[in-house]
Chains A and B, each alone.
Chain A
Amino acid sequence: MKKDELPQDKGDLENFTREVCYVKNKDGKYEKGLSTGWEAKQAALDNAWEEIERVVAQTKESVLNGKVSPIKYYMELQVMDMPVLAGYTGFWSWQIKRHLKPKVFAKLSPSKLEKYAKAFDITVNQLTEFK
């Protein structure tokens, strides 16, 4: 990539930082250049977040309809997958999968609920009194 081709598009890095890219200068040698962002990348990022928001909204419905426990909702809100949530709570994945069932969730002990609340950065109340 030549230096004058380095994209300077608007994006989420605005007001945070510009990023270093290696570009060819007029003499055909590499040097560091700074870019504010690239539209192609920003679109991929926007797309990923739209999808996350769509799934979160869908899961909220499922929780309210009693199909799945609130753990699933907060998991998706915090962009966690099984290994990440397992890491933060100390539970095994198969345990978490059980806790996603509303019936099992209703009987969870306070100490287990506490672990989930801590992992999601919320109160136990927010978890049990889902709205």
Chain B
Amino acid sequence: MTAEEFNHIQTAHCENGVTVNLLKMKGLDFFTEPLAFGIGAGLFYIHVPFLKINKGPAISFRSMPGQIFKRTCKSLDIDVVHKRFKSTENAQSFLDDKINAGQPVGCQVGVFHLMYFPKSYRFHFNAHNLIIYGKEDGKYLISDPIMEVTTTLTEAELEKVRFAKGPFAPKGHIYYPEKVGEISDELLRKAIVKGIKSNVRMMIQIPSVRAGARGIKFTAGQITKWRSKHGEKKAGLFLGQIVRMQEEIGTGGGGFRFLYAAFLEQAADKLQDDRLIKISEQLTKSGDLWRDSALQMAGIYKGRITSQKDFEDSANILKEISALEKEAFQDLKALKLKY
């Protein structure tokens, strides 16, 4: 497939983007990134236990990698193919067969060796997603959803990122939707409601203080202890880490919250239910507060404000967000949505 035949769509988040691009190829013209994110129940918060990154907190603002594509396809009765490989040769020949047959595929990669990324963004993060849609002059044609335009990788470059090592090692992971039936309005409404219900469970019903809306409050509690425990500098670096995780490319400033708000807006339209608009507004408010918290934290790690009170102010914004997201998802639950 050539670049003209493949219609690259840029999105905020990589996995949403791969899902949207691949499903559009299969004829789902109406499909959007917010729909993928909502049906795939992508919104989440977790302060991961036991795991430390640079001796600081490990935090995630969304569900486990791979979940969005999987849940979205399952809810829409779409059959998917997943393949992982032990041998690099098999991984490449399987890929070549697919793209020769005109089937663009989603591919999980590590970003550390991803050459078209800016150097400062290249950490050992192994759950990035892109689409490979063709091959020209020995180079793979790549549609990376977070990039404005398509790009290319040599065989060696692609092999390196497909076989990146460490946590979440991709092992050449390739996936694509195989059989897409007719997506009726009813099926779509059902998928939307199902996605919302899954997300309600994830945000307010997991029995752990570290997960969902409660997890945000947990982090707030930790932040108030950091300055006396680790000193100004280290505590500031930890805050920077929170902001960086909130700020993967394209999800800037609580971007996942805005994305979910956009999903609820579209859901209100598809389900003909205006009550969802009010909850969309709550998520917008939450996204705005995440942005405020990042600015407050930036003040600290830039060394402009460093007193204990400044740390507490950051924590207080997170507490406010925690309460707001808890309320929003309780409201969503109380709607008892039907399709």
Contacts and interface: CB of A to CB of B under 8 A. Distances in A.
Interface of B: 10-12, 34, 53-54, 112, 116-121, 123-124, 146-149, 165-167, 169, 236-237, 239-241, 243-244, 247, 249-250, 252-253, 255, 258-259, 261-262, 265, 284, 287-288, 291, 294-295, 297-298, 301-302
Given A41-B247, A84-B124, A16 B237 contact: no
Interface string A33-59: 011001111011111110100000000
Contact of A35 (B53, B147, B252, B284): B252
B301 A44 contact: yes
Contacts, number: 127
A4 interface: no
A32 B250 CA distance: 11
B249 A13 contact: yes
A49 B121 CA distance: 10
Interface of A: 1, 7, 12-13, 16-24, 29-30, 32, 34-35, 38-41, 43-49, 51, 79-81, 83-88
A44 B148 contact: no
B250 A21 contact: yes
A20 B12 contact: yes
A79 B123 contact: yes
B39 to A, nearest CB: 16
Most buried by B among A13, A35, A44, A80: A44
A84 B265 contact: no
A73 B282 CA distance: 47
B255 A12 contact: no
B240 A44 contact: yes
Nearest to B291: A1
Given A1-B258, A13-B249, A22-B261, A40 B298 contact: yes
Given A41-B247, A87-B169, A88-B165, A48 B241 contact: yes
